[in-house]
Amino acid sequence: MSQPLAERMRPKTLDEYIGQKHLVGSGAVLRKMIDAGRISSFILWGPPGVGKTTLAQIIANRLETPFYTLSAVTSGVKDVREVIERARSGRFFSQQSPILFIDEIHRFSKSQQDSLLGAVETGTVTLIGATTENPSFEVIRPLLSRCQLYVLKSLEKDDLLELLHRAIATDAVLKERHIEVKETDAILRYSGGDARKLLNILELVVESENGPEVLITDERVTDRLQQNPLAYDKEGEMHYDIISAFIKSIRGSDPDGALYWLARMVEGGEDPAFIARRLVISASEDIGLANPNALLLANAAFDAVMKIGWPEGRIPLAEATVYLATSPKSNSAYQGINAALDLVKQTGNLPVPLHLRNAPTQLMKQLGYGKDYKYAHNYPGNFVRQQFLPEEVSSCRLWHAQDNPAEAKLHDRVLQLWGERFKQ
């Protein structure tokens, strides 16, 4: 059986590599290191299908160094230690350390990441990690501090078109067919900047045609994808369409709609952490102060899913989904922080009023830092009026209560404390 098109088209050299010119183009930082024949450990962060694994393999081939690979999905601490030992014993007199490539490194547990530290620090292996998640949150700080971080971008339209035409012109299987590209909007849209997805769609359309003639049109691409039971793409356009429908159903207080789109994601193999994160965001952005318990429940659902995994994880996700969808809604905190950010951008770094400044030294006290600050707990009701905004913006209003019982209570309280200032 022939390899998939995406595998057949995998670049073998940097000259064949498409995209990421900011890293591997002429004079770019990673290109310079590769050309110099020596690289240090680094992590590649970017969306799927932009060439992370391919780039690691090209580097290993170029440097002619042993290349070991582990998947964070299937490997444990024992596997990490075994491959490090193999790298240590097989190094001999090679100038460049063997490369250990770890795909989806964000899925490694803390203990698995800890087991890498010594080998990376001593140069037993040169680590290349690949992740689709922000390494700041998913990779332990000691390991992150020992690695450079390079950000890969989704492929641009021109990159995808170059790949499309190169595949049609050079692939041994596709060259046997007469393929005419009439329209490209749909194939570019559905690929979502993902080279692998683009090639998979091209292969799907070509294989669905019986004769030697293949015409690529927007209608044909859309039709073939809709007929394909695996059309849900965790990283492509449908991924974003479905999560959008999910969040809008919650915001629109429709638990049935929200559960339906949740089921579509679960059935399509969506990452449960992605769904849980969006629930936490929705609890803050759309429910907010109208029901602060929503954020607590969304966080609890996130923790539960991380502990129990699939398939049981669908239950706390469903519970949080229904609770958020049926909760009263408010985006006053969301609007408030956006208004505050706009104000900061307009007014710049205004000085902190002297009475609000910290005064840890005698000199600062002599300069008036902290002078005339009123400690709220020394006053009746633990409140005293004083100015907390810079003078230049002291009359600005940022938070406005919305029409729901929970915020009505909050508004009544600040109105009682501050009077006219907080009248709507």
For the chain, where do the domains classified as CATH 1.10.3710 start and end?
347-422
CA distances from 175 to 181, 204, 213 (A): 14, 15, 11
Overall size of the chain counted in residues = 424
Residue 35 to residue 74: CA distance in whole angstroms: 33
Query: pTM for this one?
Result: 0.55
DSSP secondary structure letters along 146-161: TSEEEE--PPPHHHHH
Q: What strands, in cross-sheet order, belong to the sheet with 148-151?
A: 67-71, 99-103, 126-131, 42-45, 148-151
CATH topology of domain 237-326: Zinc Finger, Delta Prime; domain 3 (1.20.272)
Least confident of 72-81, 164-173, 283-292: 72-81
Superfamily of 20-151 according to CATH: P-loop containing nucleotide triphosphate hydrolases (3.40.50.300)
Residues carrying CATH 1.10.8.60, the chain: 157-227
pLDDT category at 93 given cuts 50, 70, 90 is low
Average pLDDT over residues 52-56: 88
- Enumerate the CATH 3.40.50.300 domain ranges in the chain, comma separated: 20-151
Distance CA 302, CA 235 (A): 21
User: What pLDDT was estimated at residue 413?
Assistant: 81
Confidence band (pLDDT; 50, 70, 90) for 282? Answer: very high
Per DSSP, 3 falls in state P
Taking only the tens place, the pLDDT of each residue in 351-391 is 888 777 777 677 767 777 778 888 888 888 888 888 888 88
pLDDT of res. 298: 94
157-227 — its CATH code?
Answer: 1.10.8.60
pLDDT of residue 387: 83
pLDDT attached to residue 301: 93
Better-scored residue on pLDDT, 138 or 278: 278
Mean pLDDT of 179-185: 88
Distance CA 212, CA 301 (A): 52
Whether 353 contacts 387, CB under 8 Å: yes
Q: What is the pLDDT of residue 294?
A: 92
**Residue 195 contacts residue 160 (beta carbons within 8 Å):** yes
Q: Which amino acid is at 296?
A: L
pLDDT(231) > 50: no
CB-based burial of residue 416 (10 Å sphere; 0-12 exposed, 13-18 middle, 19+ buried)?
exposed
Q: Please, what CATH class does the domain formed by 347-422 belong to?
A: mainly alpha
Structure token digits, residue 230: 């695996």
